[in-house]
Amino acid sequence: MKLFLLGFMGAGKSYWGRQLAAHWNLPYYDLDDVITEREGMSVADIFASKGEDHFRRRESEILRELALSNNAFLISCGGGTPCFSDTMDFMNSHGITIWLNPSIPVMVERLQRKQSKRPLIQDLATEDLVAFTEKKLTERLPFYEQSQVIISDDEISLETFEKMIRHA
């Protein structure tokens, strides 16, 4: 199986990615972690010292490299991964794309807890997080909506994924 887990920041990609990869016995890659390892610095430091364009180039290159060099995998993408270059098309033609799309309050609640490691939101006041999330998510919908599997419930389980993937 070749799976790409997509969704906005705070959607639960890393959590579910680890769970699903263990459950289905798939090699697991958290794209942000692979980029961090390769670049030798955190995502926040890459944005600050090398700029967002550099980060976007690396995420697109590394995603392709991982997908083309593995027969089976689960890759948890960053929130912006599908929205740059033709990465959404690439993922749809090289595996199954799964969009985790919980409600905005659920994502915002998670983002408040891990704001500092996310450069796009690290300087926002907590009360501005909802407006930012609504606006950014709207911009990104045309990409996320191309996913082959869409999971929009707040309460999900392994069975939710099993059922959806079977029908993909």
32 binds ligand S3P (CB under 6 A): yes
| DSSP H/E element including 91 | helix 87-94
Q: Is 78 in the site for ligand S3P (CB under 6 A)?
A: yes
Among 41, 120, 141, 165, binds ligand S3P (CB under 6 A): 120
43 binds ligand S3P (CB under 6 A): yes
Considering only residues 139 through 168, tell me which ones interact with ligand S3P, judged by CB under 6 A: none
Beta partners for residue 100, in sequence order: 151
* Interacting residue with ligand S3P among 17, 62, 67, 79 (CB under 6 A): 79
Reading across the β-sheet that carries 2-6, which strands appear in turn? 28-30, 73-76, 2-6, 96-100, 149-151
Beta-carbon count within 10 A of 95 CB = 19
Judged by CB under 6 A, the stretch of 17-25, 60-68, 74-82, 148-156 that binds ligand S3P is 74-82
Cα 55 to chain centroid, rounded: 14
Query: How many residues form the binding site for ligand S3P (CB under 6 A)?
Result: 10
Count of beta carbons in the 10 Å neighbourhood of residue 27: 12
Interface with ligand S3P (CB under 6 A) = 9, 13, 32, 43, 78-80, 118-120
